[in-house]
Amino acid sequence: MRLDAACALATGKGRKECRDAIRRGAVSVDGIVEKKADRTVTEGQRVVWSGEELDLREHLYFMLCKPDGLVCTTEDLPESVLTLFPPKYRKRLFCVGRLDKDTTGLLLLTDDGAFDHHLMSPKHHAEKEYVVTLARPLSASDVESLQGGMTLENGETTLPCRVIPEGETTCRIVLREGKYHQVKRMFAAVSNRVIALRRVRIGSLDLDPTLADGQWRELTEEEVLLLSEKKE
């Protein structure tokens, strides 16, 4: 890859800005200042821009344990989940799907559009599993209504799902779709209210139990491949 292209990929800056920085000596390759923008670099080389080492990988994949109070946006806002990541990643990453501001748990971030499309496509139907805390006990008839598919307040219908009670006011719900505020709206349809919502699984990937709220780690190659598999 050309050096200016690699810098653009890693920083999110325009190619012209990268070429200008290279020509003025702001970029080094393996410890040596490089002023040729068309110089070829590979993923294993050390490229430093104004003292910051760049990540030259073509794509990045992260698991975040999203905390309460942050929003899934790429805008430069103090409440964005991207503030939890180093500056060198913030221009590259976007959220795979969204979690509400008050919803916690498993959130994927990447710069790979094909990966995002695959997981979010209705044709793929990647399961999403949530732990739900409710305002009042969940009855057997509520579970039946939720699992069978239901009509929401605006007339939208939901697909059948799985509901696994874990206590009087806690349960797990497994969905294959992701309508706006769907879990909250489904429980509202059985006259209940969601107090807390935490996503713990997407497809074959469970939330890493070693991650505290606000912590993240990179996905392994195996995890990326498993999430990318097409289901019949």
* Structure confidence by residue, pLDDT tens digits, 18-45: 999 999 999 999 999 999 999 999 988 9
Mean pLDDT of 94-105: 96
Each residue's pLDDT tens digit, 194-212: 999 999 999 999 999 999 9
Query: Which residues, 6+ apart, have CB-to-CB distance to 117 below 8 Å?
Result: none
Contact call for residues 34 and 3 (beta carbons, < 8 A): yes
Give the CB-side neighbour count of residue 131, counting CA atoms within 13 A.
10
Residue 61 near residue 110 (C-beta atoms within 8 A): yes
The label of the residue with tokens 């939901």 reads: 158
Q: Say yes or no: do domains 61-122+205-228 and 128-202 share a fold.
A: yes
Against a cut of 0.75, is the pTM above it?
Answer: yes
The crossing angle, in degrees rounded to 10, of helices 113-120 and 221-228 is 50
pLDDT number for residue 232 = 42
At 26 the pLDDT is 96
For domain 3-53, give the CATH superfamily: RNA-binding S4 domain (3.10.290.10)
Helix residue ranges per DSSP H, 24-170: 87-90, 113-120, 140-147
Domain spans of the chain, in order of start: 3-53, 61-122+205-228, 128-202
Q: At residue 119, does pLDDT exceed 70?
A: yes
By the 8 A CB rule, do 138 and 192 touch?
A: yes
For 57-96, what is each residue's pLDDT tens digit? Answer: 889 999 999 999 999 999 989 999 999 999 888 888 999 9
pLDDT per position as a tens digit, 162-178: 999 999 999 999 999 88
100 part of the active site: yes
Catalytic one of 20, 55, 100, 116 = 100
In the CATH scheme, what is the homologous superfamily, with its name and number, of domain 128-202?
Answer: Alpha-L RNA-binding motif (3.30.70.1560)
What is the arithmetic mean of pLDDT over 213-218?
A: 98
Q: What is the pLDDT of residue 230?
A: 59
Written out in words, the top-level CATH class of the domain with range 61-122+205-228 is: alpha beta
Give the pLDDT mean for 121-142: 91
